[in-house]
Amino acid sequence: MTITLELPPEAEANLVAQAKARGLSLDAFLRTLITTQAAALESARSVQPLPREGEERDRAIDELFDTVQIPPGIGEGAMRRENWYR
């Protein structure tokens, strides 16, 4: 796919500088930005919304927090909802 964009000179200079800092051509840098953004949007679309109330919401939140890796030095109970309000 070919796309032609008219950018302000400052935006173009900024993008060229970022591409150069990464050792990429402007074309390769923009391709990376666009494909990364498209993948992020696709991931966001596949996320199911949490229920808004009740036990189902509480269960969904607990399941979500079970997927979070706790950094070293943080207590095991830090991600438990009953400890949020202490």
pTM exceeding the 0.75 threshold for the entire prediction:
no
Among residues 53, 72, 73, the alpha carbon closest in space to that of 61 is found at 53
Q: Contact at 8 Å (CB) between 50 and 60?
A: yes
Tens of pLDDT along the chain (86 residues) come to 888 989 999 999 999 999 999 999 999 999 998 888 888 777 666 666 666 777 887 777 777 777 776 666 666 666 676 766 65
Q: Contact at 8 Å (CB) between 38 and 44?
A: no
CA distances from 73 to 69, 77, 78, 82, 84 (A): 12, 12, 10, 19, 17
